[in-house]
Amino acid sequence: MKPKLTLVGAGPGDPELLTLKGLKAIQSADVVLYDALVSTELLTYAPAHARIVFVGKRRGRCEFVQQDLNQLIVDYALNYGHVVRLKGGDSFVFGRGYEEIVFAQDFGIETTVVPGISSSIAVPALAGIPLTCRGVSESFWVLTGTTKNHTLSKDVAKAAQSSATLVVLMGMQHLAQIVAELAGAGKGDTPVAIIQNGSTSEEKIGLGTVNSIVEVVEKETLANPAIIVIGEVVRLHPSYEKGRMEVLSALGY
């Protein structure tokens, strides 16, 4: 069979948030390589003959380093045909999807990208937090909390100087550093939301401020996978302690 790679973004966790095009790709797969954050319900749509292979991260341990995973994709495509690489969220938003596509193309393998709904946008929305809102926030930053060297991104310090909403992915292990950067920029009272397992039945949320969110995380036992939302829009969450009515009133509601 002709080797082919389709990179499919599976969305933030709820299997019903997969796109129709992504579903059709899974249904035509000869091999499905899936990550830890992908709902296993989606695997049931693969053909009976398809090989299903887990290649994600569990308890901080990766099944494959990226270079080995790139080669694995190529090997499966050359030997079995259509490989669907199923990744959480969107493959091109901190998903290393571009690296996998380019590597496969170097071997002459046909490649297709099926975008997914990024957790950076979907999870806050599903929790009742808009990333932008007239009169509250005019823009948003989406940042990684952890670089390839496992350190905090220097962009966090730059983003702390902005009035934009900040959405930090993979940032829980550096939460104390993140809030320290914001507090140092005079934003100790800025609202913060931590959303764990967003869009799933196991979703948990913690609300606080830059100054208090570390204590909230400890009290609510929040952990990865989670995203961090920082900005005045967090006040619009229905359960935020104070400020929601004031914001809505200022908007004319």
Among the listed residues 1, 21, 24, 57, the single catalytic one is 57
The reply to whether 1 belongs to the active site is no
List CB contacts of 6: < 8 A, sequence separation 6 or more.
25, 29, 82, 83, 84, 85, 111, 112, 113, 114
The reply to whether 170 belongs to the active site is yes
Among the listed residues 14, 30, 35, 90, the single catalytic one is 35
First-residue to last-residue Cα distance in the chain: 60
Alpha helices in the chain (DSSP H): 20-27, 66-80, 97-105, 119-126, 155-159, 175-184, 213-220, 244-250
Among the listed residues 4, 90, 170, 187, the single catalytic one is 170
Q: Where are the beta strands (DSSP E) in 2-147?
A: 4-9, 31-34, 51-54, 57-58, 61-62, 82-87, 110-114, 140-144
d(Cα 209, Cα 216) in Å, to the nearest integer? 9
Instruction: Give the catalytic positions in this structure.
Output: 35, 57, 170
